[in-house]
Amino acid sequence: MAGAVFGMLLLFVFINFGSLPIKSEVSHLDGEQTFSTSKVSTEEVHQNQVPDTSYHHHRETFQDEERADPAELWTSPESRSQQYETPLVESQVEEGGQSEAPATRNGLAESGQPPKVNDRFQEELVIRPLLSGDVYSSFQFRTSWDTDLLNKQKKVSHFRLFPKSLGQVISKFSIRELHISFTQGFWRTQQWGPPFLPAPPGVELWVWFEHTVQDVDTSWKELTSVLSGIFCASLNFIDSTNTIQPSASFKPLGVANVTDQRFLRYAVLPREVVCTENLTPWKKLLPCESKAGLAVLLKSEKLFHSSFHSQAVHIQPICQDLQCKKTSWELRQTLSIVFDLHATGQSKREWSLFKMFSRTLTEPCPLASTSKVYVDITETPKGDDMIEVAPAVTLQMHAVVLGDRRKYMVYDLMTPEPYGSLRSLNILLKWKLQDSEEMLPPILHAERYVGGYGLQTGEIHTLIYNNHPFRAFPILLMESVPWYLRLYIHTLSVISKGRENKPSYIHYRPSKDRQYPHLLEMLVQLPPNSITKVTVQFERALLKWTEYPPDPNHGFYVSSSVLSAQVPSAVALDANHTTEGPLFTNLFPIMEESSYFMRVYTEPLLVNLPTPDFSMPYNVICLTCTVVAVGYGSLYNLLTRTFQVEEPSAGLAKRIANVIRRLRGVPPL
């Protein structure tokens, strides 16, 4: 009995070891930063600290299709695509067929009075060879519609080019602006330079509601559910714990009469995986779907075999004319892909449309008013030609993109010229340089990682690089940290060149457990040629056991922090905008000659939280029950066992004899 009790004790000790709540072998957190590297991206231009809508008016002036004022093209990317048939570029080019483009579209003009069409569709593809040997392709599809979707008196319900699903969502929820992006992979700014369309990994959604909306939170909740239905994404995971209202980082891009952040909602799901099921509904929003035009190239088997994939939808109101008395609605669908030299290109520095997309182009979308392909043929920093393009076309243009002067070869798909005798366009790019050339470091980029050790506290480090040799400029840094990382805001330090750099504006909203996240926005001046380090310590919270995801040891994501900046341009931006044009150059207007707007997303973080051993309760139950059963069994046995003298058992012969006797009905022996 003593032995049994001792055994029980031993077992209980063992149980206690087995039920340690925290796993000790959690990997070192700093290792997580290798998960993704730095990312710099360019997006919208805003003024940084002061909510100012002046530029809206600026940009609004360029929405008029008829107005081909080259001076203003540069500021308004949306208008650019519309206007591109008219402006400068064509004037430089003498070639036949150009004039047919509008005719093809308006072929109906011949048969009597053409019904008034108030919506337009444009498509565009930019191919940019990267110095690393990879290829960056960026699609933009733009649908604009001269109507007021928010009109309460007369509901808009008859759709032509604009997708009905999105139009109904906008009227239903009174949305002023909607921006959603789905991104797989991370944009490597250091190797690839800044992108045309920056986006953080995962899903990013930000929406400006109309100021008539009474209950913004409910609308937001319903809207995310509806959008998750439209785009087949897990947007329903957006709730108050990951929604923020940035005070200055995200200003409306279109015509805006609201700049009150109460009507803004912003959320990122860094964990969301983007795949075919998100691409298919995105393609369905295009009027030609993927049946004609540039969209035939969008085949998922190739698109997702790439190192970076980002698709987005931007909806915003824009001005119809200079006076901006009326607004149109613009839907801009963008898709960017980077094909990897080694994974997709078999390490050969030769690319073609067919190799990238396994399709070639044969026709534009018949509903499009413009349909163009741009190939970046800019020389390397040393002045050599970087690539050779075939078939070569005479149409070329220059544009200042993200503070850099670029040269493009333009294929106008509305004309028969690019298709050649084969009636199919397969653009070939061949590198002249065989070795990767070092690219100039991007002027602004950032990286972020988690420091510290153990599972109790840690530190978020953000490094912001200003590589401009002599210009200092301010950036707006926005961090959104989930509540389970409790920021110690008193430990916040901003250090540039070894000295403290006091932010001139700080907006901080502390988190509330299980309700909303931390939001930190700071305006920091970056000294020239410097690295600014922003550090803040945090404590990891213990979650309730039901709050852990199914794979808790994977870690918890913290969404990318966002840098918005007005970056000084290396090339003077042409205030007269005499040479630039198309859609891709910038989503956002230019405020001044000497600087351009850039948005940079850092890496998302993956942080380990103290994680209980979830098999513990089961183990405890099993072991306890075994011990109880064995202990009880032996104890009971000991207490109730009695000893009796047993007669020796009968031999085999006797038993057989007894069986036979029983059969015979005779009493046994």
For another protein, the closer of residues 161 and 446 by Cβ is 161
Q: What is residue 110's three-state secondary structure? A: helix
> What CA–CA distance (Å, rounded) separates 513 from 166?
34
CB of 261 to another protein, least distance (A): 26
Quick one: tokens of 659?
């069986």
List helix spans (H) across 254-385: 276-284, 300-303, 353-357
For another protein, the closer of residues 289 and 350 by Cβ is 289
For another protein, the closer of residues 366 and 474 by Cβ is 366
CB of 299 to another protein, least distance (A): 16
For another protein, the closer of residues 311 and 511 by Cβ is 311
For another protein, the closer of residues 284 and 554 by Cβ is 284
Q: Which residues bind another protein (CB under 8 A)?
A: 107-108, 110-112, 114-115, 155, 157-161, 164-165, 168-169, 172, 222, 225-227, 229-230, 281, 284, 287-289, 291-292, 363, 366-367, 618, 621-622, 625-626, 628-630, 632-633, 636-637, 640
State how far the alpha carbon of 473 is from the alpha carbons of 250, 442, 443, 496, 505, in Å.
19, 14, 11, 13, 14
Q: Do the bridges between strand 119-129 and strand 370-376 make them parallel or antiparallel, or are there none, so unpaired?
A: parallel
Q: Residue 637 belongs to what H/E stretch?
A: helix 616-640
CB of 401 to another protein, least distance (A): 32
For another protein, the closer of residues 289 and 340 by Cβ is 289
Neighbour order of strands in the sheet with 595-601: 505-509, 518-526, 473-481, 562-568, 595-601
Of 416, 283, 337, the C-alpha closest to 138 is 337
Torsion of CA 409, 413, 416, 417, to 10 degrees: 10
For another protein, the closer of residues 210 and 363 by Cβ is 363
Longest dimension (CA), the chain: 127
Of 480, 465, 419, the C-alpha closest to 605 is 480
CB of 33 to another protein, least distance (A): 38
For another protein, the closer of residues 105 and 445 by Cβ is 105
For another protein, the closer of residues 617 and 668 by Cβ is 617
For another protein, the closer of residues 116 and 490 by Cβ is 116
> What CA–CA distance (Å, rounded) separates 520 from 478?
6
CB of 160 to another protein, least distance (A): 5
For another protein, the closer of residues 161 and 199 by Cβ is 161
8 Å CB contact between 217 and 269: no
CB of 315 to another protein, least distance (A): 16
8 Å CB contact between 78 and 142: yes
Q: Residue 29: what are its φ and ψ, rounded to 5°?
A: -70, -30
CB of 283 to another protein, least distance (A): 11
> What CA–CA distance (Å, rounded) separates 590 from 573?
8
8 Å CB contact between 428 and 582: no
Q: Residue 459: what are its φ and ψ, rounded to 5°?
A: -140, 135
8 Å CB contact between 201 and 186: yes
CB of 398 to another protein, least distance (A): 34
State how far the alpha carbon of 420 is from the alpha carbons of 93, 361, 500, in Å.
18, 11, 62
The alpha carbon of 481 is separated from its chain's Cα centroid by a whole number of angstroms, namely: 17
CB of 157 to another protein, least distance (A): 4
The amino acid that residue 506 corresponds to is I
Quick one: tokens of 266?
């912003």
8 Å CB contact between 459 and 535: yes
> What CA–CA distance (Å, rounded) separates 26 from 553?
8
CB of 624 to another protein, least distance (A): 8
CB of 64 to another protein, least distance (A): 24
State how far the alpha carbon of 166 is from the alpha carbons of 109, 143, 266, 269, 650, in Å.
30, 12, 19, 21, 92
For another protein, the closer of residues 21 and 114 by Cβ is 114
For 7, counting Cβ atoms within 10 Å of its Cβ (0-12 exposed, 13-18 middle, 19+ buried), the class is: middle
For another protein, the closer of residues 296 and 522 by Cβ is 296
CB of 668 to another protein, least distance (A): 24
Q: What is residue 43's three-state secondary structure? A: coil
For another protein, the closer of residues 236 and 323 by Cβ is 236
Of 349, 327, 329, the C-alpha closest to 339 is 349
CB of 63 to another protein, least distance (A): 24
CB of 199 to another protein, least distance (A): 23
